[in-house]
């Protein structure tokens, strides 16, 4: 059963990478289109900038929530690197507790704000802002779950401290 869940998780991770790659490709295409229209045709169009910004926000938050693995994230390596195994685990637990608390405390207000933003629309494409910002609560929940898992693993003594950051594991 556990192997089946692992396979499903790996398949979902690959699909999330595919979605992220598609967003990046679309953002690049829109960016090139913006350059062509602005500088070659002397006809600036605003919707391309809007799409680029929207895709950038979604790339960062969706990617962090579903694609980037824990050991691929940027950490305070100067502090974590000098700590012994027990101190490292304690720091990981304390950090997880703080991050979980901050995100959990802010989550109701974030959800209220995102739902409130249905009254505003983007300038060119008239997309409701609640549709654009809905990724942030998803990101916040993913961070809470991830930090809970990191804290639990640190308590159990199973950390990814020796992960090699030079080994590329993601297609992004």
pLDDT of residue 2: 76
In 10 A of CB 89, how many CB atoms?
20
What the block records as the tokens of 156 is: 């159990």
CB 171 within 8 A of CB 79: no
At 55-64, the pLDDT tens digits run 999 999 999 9
Q: How many helices (H) and strands (E) does the chain have?
A: 6, 0
Above 80 in pLDDT, residue 68? yes
Return the domain boundaries, the chain.
Answer: 1-68, 74-163
pLDDT of residue 76: 65
Alpha carbon distances (Å) from 3 to 79, 145, 158: 36, 21, 19
Separation CA 122–CA 34 (nearest Å): 18
The residue among 163 and 124 whose pLDDT is bigger is 124
Q: How confident is the model at residue 20 (pLDDT cuts 50, 70, 90)?
A: very high
Quick check: pTM over 0.85? no
CB within 8 Å of 88: residues ≥ 6 apart: 80, 154, 159, 161
Q: How confident is the model at residue 166 (pLDDT cuts 50, 70, 90)?
A: low
């Amino acid at each position: 059963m556990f192997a089946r869940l692992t396979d499903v998780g790996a398949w979902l991770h690959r699909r999330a990478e595919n979605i992220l790659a598609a967003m990046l490709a679309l953002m690049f295409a829109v960016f090139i289109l913006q350059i062509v229209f602005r500088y070659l045709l002397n006809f600036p169009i605003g919707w391309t900038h809007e799409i680029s910004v929207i895709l950038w926000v979604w790339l960062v938050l969706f990617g962090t929530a579903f694609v980037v693995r824990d050991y691929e994230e940027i950490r305070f390596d100067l502090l974590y690197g000098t700590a012994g195994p027990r101190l490292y685990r304690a720091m990981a637990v304390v950090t997880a507790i703080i991050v979980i608390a901050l995100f959990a405390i802010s989550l109701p207000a974030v959800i209220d704000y995102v739902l409130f933003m249905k009254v505003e629309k983007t300038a060119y494409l008239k997309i409701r802002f609640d549709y654009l910002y809905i990724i942030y609560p998803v990101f916040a929940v993913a961070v809470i779950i991830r930090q809970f898992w990191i804290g639990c693993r640190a308590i159990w003594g199973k950390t990814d401290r020796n992960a090699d950051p030079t080994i590329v594991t993601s297609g992004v």
